[in-house]
Structure 1
Amino acid sequence: MLGALLEAFVGFSTRQGWLSPEVGGPLAKACVLLCVSYGLLMNLRLRSLWFIWLGLALNTVVIVANQGHMPVRLEAIPLEAREAMALQLASRSDAVHSLMTPQTPFYYLGDILPVYWSKTVLSLGDVYLLIGIAALVLELGLKARRGREDWNIDIRFDAD
């Protein structure tokens, strides 16, 4: 939670012009990486966190290789959102994303998977993160169900 708030503040600061994208992007990702890594290390007993760790690792590799920015394949963005995203990437007001070029290292780990219903794109790391989050909710729910005591309370209302 703290990492997401820090990333949001850095992103806002970059859009306002208080930070340059060259500083804001790496700073935002460093904040998230530190906070999430701490949480993962403290809870490695939860198996679903391994998917989250893998997604975070894949995203970190491509972001570090691209000087702190997640490359976005413009052609993968759904048509309705493509023009707005192109303007945003061209103005370099986005602290986290950059336009993918033929020379982009690890381009296959960037944002290349279109999500039409949300008019956005995801990376392979994002997919692992989403799987990990869903698995974590399921794992914690099952763990809570197994740990719940059976009180044997009858709450039926009989007319007898």
Structure 2
Amino acid sequence: MVATNAFGMGINKSNVRYVIHAQLPRTIEAYYQEAGRAGRDGLDSECILLFSPQDVQIQNFLLDQTQLAEDRKQQEFLKLRSMVNYCHTEDCLMKFILKYFGDNDAKNCGRCLHCTDQRQTVDVTKEAQMVFSCMKRTRERFGKTMIAGVLSGSSNRKIIDFKLDQLSTYG
């Protein structure tokens, strides 16, 4: 089943497994309400939030266009800021939401992506230096595709024509 948030609010199914937000909801209240559509039968479910900085620009624009009183508009901007903070937090996602709603004693849930994250920090200093060195050696005249081609040792015609295959960063 696929639904917009307007239609989705009327869905009364207990076995929804996924709620996917294709853009940023304006408030944590809205997000919590919509995310709560999944897993009402008690089984595991997921809520996935796809977020882009452009979403914030759109929400800011829409808020600017509203006819709300200035103090109410500022409250709405603060709610949007809280939603953006949620997207950027590295803490437990459920704890963030519970604290937002006033539960200052909230503990980590142990189930969200942040609580179960097992990624390791990887040092890419050498790789970054190689990219910057390649950009410098090409006098910053080329875009990411050409730089990637040089670094990966591509035999692309343009790379050969510009003699970029002779750079120390080639391959």
TM-score (normalizing by structure 1): 0.30
Larger Rg: 2
Relative to its length, the structure with more helix (as a share) is 1
Question: Which structure has more RCO (C-alpha within 8 Å, separation ≥ 6)?
Answer: 1
TM-score (normalizing by structure 2): 0.28
